[in-house]
Structure 1
Amino acid sequence: MATTTLSRPSDNKWIAGVCAGLGDRFGIDANLIRLAFVISCLLPGPQFIVYIVLWIIMPKRAGY
């Protein structure tokens, strides 16, 4: 079930919960987002910077 806001859960997280939060928001399995992130790291680009920025700006989900 997709959530209406973009937030990081306190459960189902591996590092910071960014991929789990994105998966919850868009109704996609978090493992697929994690796999896409790892594969994207093989390409040049700012993947790690985007991850860190999302880690900073995404609030933790309340109630957990």
Structure 2
Amino acid sequence: MDDPRLASMSPQELRSAMRTLGYRTQNDLANGIGVSRSAVSLWLEGKVGVPRPVAMLLRMLIAAQRRQF
């Protein structure tokens, strides 16, 4: 269970992931991954933890993006 991809994600890491993946707004990210904008807002404010499957998805998307170049 020590796989870092399985860890939750801090609001700062989420913000960074959004930038890396080209999501400019909370709405862009919400639409991109199929969640509500209010969920993204709660994650960014740190009021609710980023669900592990979402954190894993974003990390996988970033890794895939980096492999293309």
Q: Please, what TM-score do these two structures have when normalized by structure 1? A: 0.34
TM-score (norm 2): 0.32
Greater fraction of residues in helix: 2
